[in-house]
Structure 1
Amino acid sequence: MQVAQASKPHSTPLTLKWLEENYEMAEGVCIPRSTLYMHYLDYCGMNDSQPVNAASFGKIIRQQFPQITTRRLGTRGQSKYHYYGVGIKESSIYFDLAYSRKGFFSNADGKKESLKQVYSYSPRSKLGTMLPNFPDLQDIYLPPSIPTDRISTFLVMYRTHCQRVLDNVIRANFEEIQSFLLHFWRGMPQHIVPLMNSRTVVDLVGVCDSILYRSLANVLVPSVLQPVSESLIQMIRKFARHIEDWIVLSIQDFPKILQQMKIDMTRKFSQMLRRQASLNHLCQAVKSVISSQLLLRQMAHDWSCVDLTSVLKQTLFSMEKYSQRDYELITTLQREFEELLNEQVCIETYCQWLFSIVERCVKIPSSKTPTNTWEICRQFLLTWSCYGSRVIRDMTLQSSFHLLHLMFDEYVMYLVETFQFDAWSNQLLTSITKHPNTVPNIPERQSVITDGRDFLNANC
């Protein structure tokens, strides 16, 4: 990554001032050298100044923080050099809890422990994020009519383009993305364009788009539970609202088969992104509700007044077909929720529970019969909606259950939509691979796991 055609020369005093404003000595904190250098390149880009190389920048850092040391951390083959003893200030636009003094505190014994407090997230903390690998051409079955060298050239071009989109989303330069899309697709070399008539190539583009979109979602809203500023939420919503139009405009002269794939993939991404933004707001509101002892006692009372036997019977009646297992599962979920309510757990625990519901009711059944994935998702959402609406019907209008129910609905829909997106992406990948059984699936979106299990361990 370089800052091109900077009009201002490098200034060590200004760089030292920037370091002082954004970083501080922080015992026990480590930050990757590459991450700090990416922050510096971003600073140079914003100020139109010429950056120095990484080695020279390291000398400037030691001039500002002479006490810091360097450590090599990580597993064998994956280790990176880190600066030890320096952290990012909370006031910095690059703030990341993991690389800050706020991420640690000392107890009476001097032992380092993680803080449970969560701070407002900024995408700039993800500077330097690289896209996951695109599919290897050696694993792709290409029709004899498709020249391998041309596909290889296209993949290199497309990955560079996608990385550029990701970099600008991290910097919140959303207005630049439309021009990148237009420049890439309208500037496509003429000998590459005919490839877009191939079903295999179009499916490959779809897989690459799914990798890009998951990366974009991860840097914009890595966790629906972590507070995000109102300004960032508004930018995310605006981006989600416009990206489909930008895609349509940029590929309007390409084959219909490519247009349909990219529009479908973009539409699903846009829908998930909007849901993440609204869900983030809901989660912050629910946190205030479940932190009130008075409201929790009222919710427990409201729940005890619901005729759960009647709700269960009506829900089962609404299902196309049901078994004893369905009856036992819903009964188990009722009991689990009541226990969580009485234990007055935090929102992270509720999210973990919702994650486990989708795991039991959607993911595990789908893994046994992959061809029925969409029907399994549809039936689960119908049953979930039916049960929830009947419970809420018996609640008073003043009950705080309505807000919790709304958050539960949004979170479950978010989990199911993300699962469907990943399932579709893996289906595309399987359809174009030479040996489907030996090619690993595209991994699930990290934020789904984080919201449920890993985030719980860090915050409860």
Structure 2
Amino acid sequence: MVLQELEAQFPGRSKQIATLLQLMGEPSDAVLPSIFIYGHPSSGKTSVVRAILEKTLARSMWAFINCIECHTPRMLFEHTINQWCDWTPSYENKYTGVRRIDNIHQFVKAIQEGVALDDERTVQFGDSETRYLVLDRAERLRDMGSTLIYSLLRLAEMTGRNICVIMISTVVFDKFRVRGGAYEPLVMRFSEYTKQDTVEILRKGYTTRLIQVEGGDPVELNDEFVDGFSEIIYNIFNHNCKDINELRYLAALLFPIYIKPLKDGDSKVSERSRLYQLALPFFAKATDKLYLREVSSAEWAKETKRLDELDDAEAEDLFRKQSRDKGYFALPYYTKFLLIAAFLASYNPPRYDVRYFAKAGEARKRKKGGGTRKAKVDNLGGKMRPQLLGPKSFPVERMLAIFYSIIDDTLEDSIDIQTQITSLTTLRLLVRSNNLERLDGSRFKCNVSFQFIKAVASSVPLIAFGCPSQRFPLQNQLLAMAAAQRTRQASNNVDSSHHQSILAWLSQTYQYDSDNYDTGIQRSRVYEDYIEYLRVNEPDQQPLNAAGFGKLVKTVFPGIRTRRLGTRGQSRYNYCGIAYKQPRSSSPPQQQRRQSKSPSPSTTMMEDDTNMPMIQQQAVIVNNTGLSPSQHIGFPSNGHSEQHQLPQSDIQERDIPTLQLFTAPSTTDPSRKPEAEQLASLYHNHCQEILKLMLLNQDISDCIQRFYSTIPEPIRQIMNGDSKVMETIWRWDCVLYDTIIHVLFPSIHAPISKATHEYLKSCSSNVSSYYTMALTGYSESLTSKKMAVMYIFISKLDRLVISNQLAQAADHDLTTQAKDMLVDWEKISIDNILDGAQWMSPWGGDQGLGQQLNKVKLLLQRQCQDQIGIGAWVNWVYDIVHQHLITPHDTISWVKEAIQRWTLYSSLILRELALVEDATTLDAFRKLWMFINDYVIYLGEESIASRNMAAMNSAKTEMQLPRTFSSSDSYPSSSLS
């Protein structure tokens, strides 16, 4: 009878109830000395134990102790004796206990001897019937001494009485163990509730009842309706909340909102989907407001009543505003702290962890006087400050250490940190930076901007600190971020009308000039031109000082150098690398006025090019060093690229090509044409700087960050809101990336230094984070366009770097082992290869394949005689692919099948080489064929890309794309045709 009542009262706990009843037996039976019960919070442990004791035993036969309330051994012992004696401190007994017990020895003695309540009554413990001691939240016993827990577990043995100690905890018993070992209790686990059990528990709080419908008959809310509501609560909140008490609390507050459309007559009981849609905004709001206890139940009821009185338009605007203020992602409470910890680990140097996160202060050495003063690193505005270098990878252990430091509270055991890390990785908020196959030493990068993490920090109430009205102080624990942000905002304030006019005047008056890079223009002369410009055009304007004007000059011409040139006593500071756009007379003001009357060469060129297609205007590369047409950047016509193969380190600044001036984009608003022209000039200078830095293997993060943070506000508005301007910016990026690839890789096998390979790999892995941080605050449309073309560029750059490395490795083996490779090749069986490839040869028989195999022998012979290098092999592969494997009329599926056939031929050749007994060059052949296979796949990919682009052009003929990303020239194989 008792078992059935308890099973009906506690769904999902039948097994645990039956086990406890069986262990307890009759009151006079001997029982186990100790039982340890553990499980997740709100899994019914305490409720089940109390209910069993209440229904089977008298109140004086068991004592229930909460270890949080009784936080000292004395309180624990005295409360236990008081409950066993059915003694309650009151006014009559002067609020005293039965007996004072200070330690475990006195507690054991009291149990053995009994306690005298008065002269007539003495209470004995465990002599005839079992006494139970229930210790809830038993993990707090670990703070009361190392021996107390094990003394309680052996209490029956120490006292010689029939006493059973039941410990209830959310922590497994392994956390209670010590090195010396101890008595092992019977361990019982309360598992998590299943969905069916949870729904049944939620439903137990409701009974069938009638509600009055406005203007209609009463409606009955039966068990089926309540089950549907309970399932909705479970599906919405169970992912973030496993606590059954919290779910019951949320269900009690949301149920009146759920049934309100029924009372108003707006819905029926059977229309559950409609009820769910009407209540969904309140469910989303309840996740933050109720679960995090930002508001009380009364405040929640008042707020929902106010929202209910709003009309649909006002409610939708309010909900949209709140969603925007919350940030981009609705993350759980502790997951936000985990993301903040990842951001701090990415942007704070590890040596500062002790200063910001350790409980003890950082030990600092006392500075002594004397010695040479070391240069101080500028962490606020320097080029090497962490915030502009992009996120750094960090071990997961360091992130967790910061996480546990900033939450400053004991984390609940129901929260799975590893699951939260996986969720952040799935959302791409964290990025794995090392190999996934490594199970230990996982490293991550934080892939969010400062504005994003600032919004997350501002949305985190400090509940764990007892300050729910305050937010997480991010700036206090992030090295120099606040100061760097203020510096960046100060630089963004260059948006006054005067500053805009100066930026436009600088762009129209001066230009980059590589011929003038060692001399330039005197800095004082440029400032005099500025003063004269103000005198003529803005006489009432107060001029900027020299330092402020110099910042504007560097804004228009990033990367410009200032050098002191001249003889002793006559030297002056010069801006090196710029020149006047027009020949300048000795009188700056007259020249300036003439410029305002007559168009500049750049303006004339823009007007003359208006009849050209957009791509032809943007994709032309001009070199100001006076090269002949045959010396322009491109591919050699004879198919041998050795004449143009220069190591990357030989590229000098004077050899860097100059991009043609960008044509001002058309705008949807004709009045914004001046801003569009200024954007074209600024963006051209920016692209030229990026081109120079990448060709010289220099860091580009500072250049990217500086450009996008100093864009004037009017120009930023057309970049964010004008679709035509966005399209033009996308095309300019294509021109920049196209130029970089063509200069770095004049052919796929051009020798490139190892340092350049490492630089390109590092650049491709970090450039996305550079742009992610720099484009913070810009529109999503512009960001998505720029990131899309950047990812294509990175993909192609990585592809060419790998192919180039394979080509150089193969070329090295050809140079050193050509004779041995020829000897080994002559030992293989050509017939075996032909037999294996006979059934799928694309050359119409064995003759074509046999000719290609003989071609390999001829190439090896030429390599021994003339040292032809890897270039001849590239030409041979290119001819095979475009004459035999792939033709212009083939479909995409045919191209893929051709690549698979080539893979079969390669495997047959390597198999025969492996069967040669005394072959010494098998590794050399593997490297050679690895490059050949990679090049064949590359040409196949280019062919598929060109066919896809042709299909897109046929569907949308007005769309034109730059050549790098259209793959119409099958780069770089066009140099080998």
TM-score range, shorter chain: 0.5 to 0.7
Larger CA deviation: 412-421 vs 284-293: 412-421
For residues 871 and 807 of structure 2, what CA distance do their matches in structure 1 show?
A: 10
Is residue 820 of structure 2 the alignment partner of residue 294 of structure 1? yes
Partner of residue 705 from structure 2, selected from 154, 159, 182 = 182
Contact 1:225 1:280 in 2 (8 A): yes
User: What SS class does the counterpart of residue 156 from structure 1 fall into?
Assistant: helix
Cα displacement string for residues 298-319 of structure 1 (whole angstroms, at most 9, x for unaligned residues): 1243362543343352x57xxx
Contact 1:127 1:170 in 2 (8 A): no
Cα displacement string for residues 316-368 of structure 1 (whole angstroms, at most 9, x for unaligned residues): 7xxxxxxxxx4539974662343243342432111012223444478852xx6
For residues 944 and 658 of structure 2, what CA distance do their matches in structure 1 show?
A: 21
Residues 196 and 304 (structure 1 numbering): CA distance in 2 closer, same or farther, change over 3 Å? farther
Higher gyration radius (CA): 2
Cα displacement string for residues 273-318 of structure 1 (whole angstroms, at most 9, x for unaligned residues): 23333333322332243342221231243362543343352x57xx
Higher relative contact order (CA 8 A, sep 6+): 1
Code of the aligned partner of 1:265 = V
Residues 402 and 205 (structure 1 numbering): CA distance in 2 closer, same or farther, change over 3 Å? same
Shift of 1:406: 0.3
Residues 428 and 169 (structure 1 numbering): CA distance in 2 closer, same or farther, change over 3 Å? farther
Larger CA deviation: 118-127 vs 234-243: 118-127
For residues 127 and 329 of structure 1, what CA distance do their matches in structure 2 show?
A: 55
Residues 136 and 423 (structure 1 numbering): CA distance in 2 closer, same or farther, change over 3 Å? farther
Match of residue 255 from structure 1: 779
Match of residue 9 from structure 1: 565
Code of the aligned partner of 2:684 = R
Match of residue 736 from structure 2: 212
Q: How does 1:39-78 map to 2 (within 5 A)?
A: none
Shift of 1:396: 0.8
Contact 2:730 2:789 in 1 (8 A): yes
Code of the aligned partner of 2:852 = E
Match of residue 493 from structure 2: none
Residues 338 and 329 (structure 1 numbering): CA distance in 2 closer, same or farther, change over 3 Å? same
For residues 273 and 445 of structure 1, what CA distance do their matches in structure 2 show?
A: 15
Partner of residue 246 from structure 1, selected from 759, 770, 776 = 770
Q: How does 1:368-379 map to 2 (within 5 A)?
A: 378-379=896-897
Cα displacement string for residues 13-49 of structure 1 (whole angstroms, at most 9, x for unaligned residues): xxxxxxxxxxxxxxxxxxxxxxxxxxxxxxxxxxx98
Is residue 802 of structure 2 the alignment partner of residue 278 of structure 1? yes
Contact 1:161 1:184 in 2 (8 A): yes
Structure holding more helix per residue: 1
Partner of residue 310 from structure 1, selected from 815, 836, 856 = 836
For residues 955 and 658 of structure 2, what CA distance do their matches in structure 1 show?
A: 22
Partner of residue 654 from structure 2, selected from 127, 148, 171 = 127
For residues 898 and 960 of structure 2, what CA distance do their matches in structure 1 show?
A: 28
Residues 331 and 277 (structure 1 numbering): CA distance in 2 closer, same or farther, change over 3 Å? farther
Cα displacement string for residues 434-459 of structure 1 (whole angstroms, at most 9, x for unaligned residues): 6969x9x8984875434x25xxxxxx
Match of residue 166 from structure 1: 691
Cα displacement string for residues 144-166 of structure 1 (whole angstroms, at most 9, x for unaligned residues): 89965554443333222111100
For residues 762 and 930 of structure 2, what CA distance do their matches in structure 1 show?
A: 23
Unaligned runs of 5+ in 1: 13-47, 55-76, 83-97, 99-113, 317-325, 454-460
Is residue 749 of structure 2 the alignment partner of residue 225 of structure 1? yes
Match of residue 857 from structure 2: 341
For residues 449 and 232 of structure 1, what CA distance do their matches in structure 2 show?
A: 24
For residues 431 and 363 of structure 1, what CA distance do their matches in structure 2 show?
A: 24
Code of the aligned partner of 1:181 = I
For residues 330 and 197 of structure 1, what CA distance do their matches in structure 2 show?
A: 62
For residues 388 and 135 of structure 1, what CA distance do their matches in structure 2 show?
A: 47
Cα displacement string for residues 231-264 of structure 1 (whole angstroms, at most 9, x for unaligned residues): 2222222222222222233224433333333333
Residues 267 and 334 (structure 1 numbering): CA distance in 2 closer, same or farther, change over 3 Å? farther
Match of residue 877 from structure 2: 354
Contact 1:225 1:284 in 2 (8 A): yes
Code of the aligned partner of 1:226 = A
Shift of 1:186: 3.4
Larger CA deviation: 398-407 vs 424-433: 424-433
Code of the aligned partner of 1:251 = L
Code of the aligned partner of 2:779 = P
Contact 1:218 1:445 in 2 (8 A): no
Contact 2:691 2:736 in 1 (8 A): yes
> Alignment length, in residue pairs?
346
Match of residue 412 from structure 1: 936
User: What SS class does the counterpart of residue 750 from structure 2 fall into?
Assistant: coil
Code of the aligned partner of 2:683 = Y
Contact 1:311 1:391 in 2 (8 A): no
Residues 416 and 209 (structure 1 numbering): CA distance in 2 closer, same or farther, change over 3 Å? farther
User: What SS class does the counterpart of residue 236 from structure 1 fall into?
Assistant: helix
Contact 2:658 2:688 in 1 (8 A): yes
Code of the aligned partner of 2:827 = H
Residues 340 and 382 (structure 1 numbering): CA distance in 2 closer, same or farther, change over 3 Å? closer
Residues 395 and 147 (structure 1 numbering): CA distance in 2 closer, same or farther, change over 3 Å? farther
For residues 254 and 164 of structure 1, what CA distance do their matches in structure 2 show?
A: 21
For residues 208 and 447 of structure 1, what CA distance do their matches in structure 2 show?
A: 21
Residues 333 and 231 (structure 1 numbering): CA distance in 2 closer, same or farther, change over 3 Å? same
Larger CA deviation: 158-167 vs 1-10: 1-10
Partner of residue 385 from structure 1, selected from 903, 906, 911 = 903
Contact 1:182 1:250 in 2 (8 A): yes
Match of residue 37 from structure 1: none
Match of residue 234 from structure 1: 758
Shift of 1:81: 5.9
User: What SS class does the counterpart of residue 127 from structure 1 fall into?
Assistant: helix
Shift of 1:422: 7.5
Match of residue 114 from structure 2: none
Contact 1:195 1:201 in 2 (8 A): yes
Code of the aligned partner of 1:161 = H
Cα displacement string for residues 67-90 of structure 1 (whole angstroms, at most 9, x for unaligned residues): xxxxxxxxxx999768xxxxxxxx
Cα displacement string for residues 62-114 of structure 1 (whole angstroms, at most 9, x for unaligned residues): xxxxxxxxxxxxxxx999768xxxxxxxxxxxxxxx9xxxxxxxxxxxxxxx9
Q: Please, what TM-score do these two structures have when normalized by structure 1? A: 0.58
Contact 1:203 1:428 in 2 (8 A): no
Instruction: Let me know the Cα RMSD of the aligned residues.
Output: 4.9
Shift of 1:7: 4.1
Residues 259 and 266 (structure 1 numbering): CA distance in 2 closer, same or farther, change over 3 Å? same
Residues 170 and 351 (structure 1 numbering): CA distance in 2 closer, same or farther, change over 3 Å? same
Contact 1:222 1:447 in 2 (8 A): yes
